[in-house]
Amino acid sequence: MVPPASSPRSGSVTPRVVFPNKVLPYLLVAPQLAITLVFFYWPAGQAFYQSMLRQDPFGLRTKFVWFANFRKVLADPAYLNSIKVTVVFSLATAIVAMCVALLLAVMAEKVVRGKGLYRTLLIWPYAVAPAIAGMLWLFLFNPSIGSLAYMLRSFGIAWDPLLNGTHAMILLVSAAAWKQISYNFLFFVAGLQAVPKALIEAAAMDGAGETKRFWTIIFPLLAPTTFFLLVVNTVYALFDTFGIVHAVTGGGPGKTTETLVYKVYNDGFVNLILGDSAAQSVILMVIVISLTAIQFRYVERKVHYG
Amino acid sequence: MKSFGFAAGVAATFMTLSSTSAFAVTQISWWHAMTGANAEVVDKISKDFNASQSDYELVPVFKGTYPETLNAGIAAYRAGQAPDIIQVFDVGTGVMMAAEGAIKPAADVLTSAGMTFDKSQYLPGIVGYYSKPDGTMLSFPYNSSSPILYYNKDIFKKAGLDVDSPPKTWNEVWEDAKKIKASGAAACGYTSTWLTWIHLENFAAWNDVSWATQQNGLAGGDVELKINAPIFVNHFQALADLAKDGTFKYGGRTSEAKQIFLAGECGIMTESSGGLGDIVKSGMNYGIGQLPYDSDAKGAPQNTTPGGASLWVFADKSDEEYKGVAAFFAYLSKTEVQEYLHQKSGYLPVTLAAYEATKKSGFYDKNVGRETPILQMTGKTPTDNSKGVRLPNLPQVRDIQNEEFEKMLAGQQTAQQALDNAVTRGNAAIKEALGN
């Protein structure tokens, strides 16, 4: 995905490139196509085929059942619960990650000295692998040994993410959002620099206060960046957070933090019900394709690219 | 083109290398899940076996955690790349047993290599668990463990409890735990790892009550869980009540509670005998007792069931490879090898001879408590309730039980509701799995 740092619509303005050779363009895109075929279409096709089979783990007995696995999965209360969990988790993660990043970016813009240092420090967490980020937060909030858990307890909060589902979700969202803040920060900083200074100065001379300037000028002009980040963050929360869930809660307590992706893993690789797991991953694929399509089709129209 | 030439060169070198080694000796691959001190044991045993003969070369490969190793084996089998031997944990036993065409029974491997397999030389409780109902041994027991009680002697002293008499029944555990909490000797009285394995599966065997129909699933067929019987309900209600004020502290679904105990937060813990190494290493002033039993149970204490893992042999390998595997199993059964494995890793010895030899050497006198798990498992002849539990989808059923326990401990449901739900959901999942 290419960020719209420079306007993505500019492609329509520049004239089309025409290759004199008929074969060369195909050769040039061939490697990318090959990668897509091998790493997306092939496994996706296999998942689709597997989703219509009932099979024992070793593949010794196979029965073709058409869409029975889908019917079973969609009727399963545990699956509906995991949809709910995923919606809550994704929205919370995206909102927290974007709000905090925007706040930090605006603040970092105001810093006069050591701007580079602040930015570097704020971008750092992005280099941390999800599972490690998860472990980090797990340690901080571990009811027995975590320093932050100790602080919470001293405030009289009975912190127990092992048994309290809400606490577990808060922990998970914190870890997932923390990791994504840096990424969002980077794009917001870039977006802020693209806001024409003249506009802000003019507004200031007309007597607009800082808050007013932000909401009426800066925020609308940041819309393309915000929109792009919304897509990226939602997809991130949906798919890239497996490592965090696996490391922090393992879907528990009960099933309160079992997201769709985690359920695919758990049913497939722990419970060894391959058909159900494949059906779930096909549903997940449909969800993401339609989500991205909707976002780019409808939400994008409302975004004004500067 | 350059890179292609390079790759071809590498491939050619690799092929010559592997063909020369195949010419000299038959390679036997062994996928395992052992880490730390236990991984050193695997390496040493493999090295010694290779040095002891020149026809076979045993190649141990670490494949991650128990579930990861099992998954790697399943994926490899589906791709036609299965290893010769794979280490599968107790919970995966049912999965492997259901895969009849994919495995070769360990007994067959030994007899077809011209070796005799004398069952009477092995600890009956362990071999029985890895055998079919007709007695054919399907896998070779490698590391077996049993749940025992650990207690912190310093905390016992502070709470005014007798440091030399650990609680014997669950009621005594509850009483001691309350005293520990009330006296302020520790923040919590009692914690436990593996609630499913210790408080359901071993609880049933140790108290001689049924965990499920069909001899706890060992006899096969339609299995129905029995874990909502009154004795289980009372036990879990006691746990749930103690959890309210923190007298009992929940650590997690597997062995996380060990950290709470090691940190000195709780005075008493039930855990696998395989967890002893970490407790010894921590330098804690600890004591060991046998697994507590329910004073209302008539037959208690009966015997505990083995946890740990065993070695499975995949089907469709060459005769040469099977001979190599048989030679390795024979080597593994040797008294000195078993003695080493038992004393170094804390797992149980598999043969009676190794147990006797360890006893004679005075090891148990110097290491008090190390004999407890063996005595628990071999003290009485197993009944239909105490040979172990087996389901084609035990990992899933345990997950369901854990979910219900967590809801119960969070105060959202009673023990009766939790166990009723666990039975209903568990039975549905078993039916699903059997329908495959």
pLDDT digits 0-9 by tens, A212-253: 999 988 999 998 889 889 888 988 898 888 988 988 888 889
Q: Are residues B274 and B197 in the same domain?
A: yes
- AA identity, residue A230: L
- Looking at residue A305, its pLDDT comes to 59
- The answer to whether the CB of A194 falls within 8 A of the CB of A306 is yes
Does the pLDDT value for residue B192 go beyond 90?
yes
Structural domain contains residue B385? no
% pLDDT > 90, chain B: 60
Is the pLDDT at A1 greater than 80, yes or no? Answer: no
pLDDT at position B37, please? 74
Tokens representing A29?
Answer: 């895109």
Residue A150's pLDDT is what? Answer: 84
Contacts of B14 (CB under 8 A, 6+ apart): none
Both B311 and B297 in one domain: the answer is: no
One domain, residues B112 and B170: no
Residues B151 and B259 reside in one and the same domain: yes
Q: Are the beta carbons of B396 and A271 separated by less than 8 Å?
A: yes
- The answer to whether ipTM exceeds 0.90 is no
CB distance A94 to A176 below 8 Å: no
- A31: contact with B, CB 8 A cutoff: no
- Which residue in A73, A135, A144 has the most chain B C-beta atoms within 10 A of its own C-beta, making it the best mutation to test that interface? A144
When divided into structural domains, chain A yields a total of: 1
Domain assignment of residue B378, yes or no = no
Interface touch A272/B395, C-beta < 8 Å: yes
- Residue A54, chain B, CB below 8 Å: the answer is yes
pLDDT value for B20: 44
Which tens digit of pLDDT belongs to each residue from A69-78? 999 999 999 9
Task: Report, as an integer, the average pLDDT of B88-92.
Answer: 90
Query: Rounded to an integer, what distance in angstroms lies between the CA atom of residue A288 and that of residue A258?
Result: 18
CA distance A46 to chain B (A): 14
A250: CATH: 1.10.3720.10
Going by pLDDT thresholds of 50, 70 and 90, the confidence category of residue B81 is: very high
Q: What is the mean pLDDT of residues A105-115?
A: 84
Q: Is the pLDDT of residue B15 over 80?
A: no
Residue B365 C-alpha, separation from nearest chain A C-alpha, in angstroms: 35
Q: What is chain B's mean pLDDT, rounded?
A: 89
Q: Judge whether A148 lies within some domain.
A: yes
- Of the pLDDT bands very low, low, confident and very high (cuts 50, 70, 90), residue B16 is very low
B131 φ, ψ to 5°? -115, 155
Query: Is residue B373 assigned to a domain?
Result: no
Task: Count Cβ atoms below 10 Å from residue A16 Cβ, excluding itself.
Answer: 6
* Statement: residue A3 has pLDDT above 50: no
Number of domains chain B contains? 2
Backbone angles phi, psi at B167, to 5 degrees: -60, 140
CB–CB contact B99 A60 (8 Å) = yes
Per-residue pLDDT, A9: 44
Of B102, B395, B435, the CB nearest to A58: B102
Which is higher by pLDDT, B185 or A150? Answer: B185
**A192 compared with B8, residue with greater pLDDT:** A192
pLDDT in tens, B350-385: 888 999 999 999 999 888 788 999 999 888 888 899
Is the domain of B155 the same as that of B240? yes
Residues in chain A: 306
- Return the pLDDT at B91: 87
Chain B residues with CB-CB distance to A under 8 A?
67, 71, 74, 77-78, 95, 98-102, 250-253, 259-260, 263, 265, 393, 395-396, 399, 402-404, 406-407, 409-410, 432-433, 435-436
Share of chain B above pLDDT 70, in %: 94
Q: Which domain holds residue A85?
A: 8-18+70-302
Q: What is the full DSSP assignment across A87-148?
A: HHHHHHHHHHHHHHHHHHHHHHHH--SSHHHHHHHHHGGGGS-HHHHHHHHHHHT-TTT-HH
Do B73 and B151 fall within a single domain? no
pLDDT at B2: 39
Residue B436: what pLDDT? Answer: 57
Residues B120-174 have pLDDT tens digits of: 888 877 888 888 878 888 999 998 889 999 999 999 999 999 999 999 999 999 9
Residues B323 and B423 in one domain: no
pTM for the model:
0.83
Alpha-carbon distance B395 to B98, whole Å?
Answer: 14
* B294 and B235 assigned to the same domain: yes
pLDDT for B13 equals 44
Q: Which residue among A56, A250, A270 places its CB closest to the CB of B436?
A: A56
| Host domain of residue B333 | 2-145+307-366
Domain annotation covers residue B322: yes
Say which residue the tokens 């909060």 belong to.
A157
A250 assigned to some structural domain = yes
Residue B297: band (very low, low, confident or very high) from pLDDT cuts 50, 70, 90: very high
Do B151 and B140 lie in one domain? The reply is no
